[in-house]
Amino acid sequence: MKAIIFGITGQDGSHLADLLLEKNYEVVGVCRRSSTNNTGRIKHILDDEKLKLIQGDITDAHSINNILKEHDDVDEIYNLAAQSHVAVSFKQPGLTWDITGKGCLNILQSIVDREMLDVRFYQASSSEMFGKSYDIDREQNKYQDEDTKFLPQSPYAIAKCAAHYITRLYREGYGLHASSGILFNHEGPRRGETFVTRKITKWIGDFVKSGRSNRSKDFPKLRLGNLEAFRDWGYAGDYVEAMWMMLQKDKPEDYVICTGNTHTIREFLDVAFSHIKIKDWSKYVVQDPEFYRPAEVDYLRGRNQKAQNKLHWEPKHSFEDLVKMMVDHDTR
């Protein structure tokens, strides 16, 4: 089997590459041109003879077409490439659209143009597409699943919605085996340091390594935005398995991938600081208006019954497992 991963150097791409190589796939990883080395997350697999890295630009249809021309024997294509930082999308909405929205279209159109209609395609959709939308269950709890309407609250979420609908259109219009995974927040030690979860655990790691007993008074505060936002957090390594499972099914469909539990950023802080024996983190944390979004998403909690029933997928790590894993990594 042979797969192309767009976005292999990101958190999800690196975990997916690990999984596919373990399954003896030939993996072609597409990396954007960069003046700096951006292969840190995949350095442990760079010597694997089954992995080939190539340069490509998802915003350039000609570049995508050339990649598929060279690798027209590919079985699976995973589009994990994105400008995925919500806050950045407000500052760079055009760039976010070109990468996150139009980039998906470029891949799908190249598949059709090259008549590679047997290839299986995965699109990384996002729970951010739901925005302020939710449904209510019998116990009056809020949730989002495959039938919940989208109400995006950021340029990133709007671009993801466009890519999601484009994927569905090409599935129905051209008969492509194209599936989207609507992934809720998924984290881990490979998460970028500007994302709130990793920002917290990286700060804790720096704090511990500085010798907190002697220098805590002078150590810079951890500056965060809204601490009351609810998120359904899981481990990225678990979620990439669901991506692969979707492409093994005979029928392409869209799936919500989540834990089914939700926690506030305040709760994340509780678990993270407790893991280094600090009960009261309030003197170390400052809420800074700079880190509030222009339009906030208040509550995300997925329902993954479809993934459980059809993919036989469930998350393997709890919220507490995830937080402690990240703290342990950053305090080593």
Catalytic residues: 126, 128, 156
Helix ranges restricted to H, the chain: 11-22, 61-70, 86-91, 93-96, 103-113, 155-174, 196-210, 212-215, 236-248, 265-274, 305-306, 319-331
CB–CB of 322/234 below 8 Å? yes
Task: Give the residues across from 186 on adjacent strands.
Answer: 234
Q: Which residues, 6+ apart, have CB-to-CB distance to 92 below 8 Å?
A: 83
Three-state SS for 71-125 is: CCCCCEEEECCCCCCHHHHHHCHHHHHHHHHHHHHHHHHHHHHCCCCCCEEEEEE
First and final CA of the chain: distance in angstroms? 37
Assigned token pair, 113: 């143009």
